[in-house]
């Protein structure tokens, strides 16, 4: 046998190997597609059940979190009311003692308001 005949045999042998190697993934994909088609018919029913279950879990979680958070929010709201009342009271006391709100200027150089309790208006 000559070298060209051995080359032809090698090409045929490699072609058979390539065909066999490509046949395995082809069969695998065929059965995967068949399985997906079979599952596609039964799957929507289970998906609806799962969706209903997750909706129930979400609703119950929301209810529980609202029950837990309600007293904390109520206390925070009350604290904010107290804080607002204290600020309002302290502002009224400050205005009574120092006069106009915002008339106090401290540490402004060159304007004559270098002392606490003095204003720019007093210096001019």
Predicted pLDDT at 124: 46
Say which residue, 88 or 9, is predicted with more confidence: 9
Query: So what's the pLDDT on residue 63?
Result: 95
97 phi-psi bin (left φ>0, alpha ψ -120 to 50, beta other): alpha
Q: Where are the domains of the chain?
A: 3-123
Distance, CA of 29 to CA of 110 (rounded, Å): 87
pTM recorded for the entire structure: 0.38
pLDDT the model gives residue 8:
92
Query: How far apart are the C-alpha atoms of 72 and 66, rounded to whole Å?
Result: 10
For 24-80, what is each residue's pLDDT tens digit? 999 999 999 998 888 888 888 888 999 999 999 999 999 999 999 888 888 888 777
Distance separating alpha carbons of residues 95 and 104, to the nearest angstrom: 10
For residues 40 and 45, give the distance between their C-alpha atoms in angstroms, rounded to a whole number: 10
């Amino acid at each position: 046998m000559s070298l060209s005949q051995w080359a032809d045999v090698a090409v045929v042998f490699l072609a058979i190997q390539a065909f066999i190697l490509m046949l395995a993934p082809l069969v695998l994909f065929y059965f995967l597609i068949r399985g997906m088609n079979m599952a596609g018919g039964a799957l929507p029913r289970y998906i609806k059940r799962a969706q209903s279950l997750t909706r129930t879990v979400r609703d119950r979680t929301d209810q529980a979190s609202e029950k837990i958070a309600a007293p904390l929010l109520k206390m925070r709201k009350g604290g904010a009311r107290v804080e607002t009342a204290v600020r309002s009271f302290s502002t009224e006391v400050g205005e009574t003692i120092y006069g106009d709100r915002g008339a106090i200027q401290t540490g402004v150089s060159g304007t004559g308001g270098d002392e606490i309790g003095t204003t720019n208006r007093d210096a001019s």
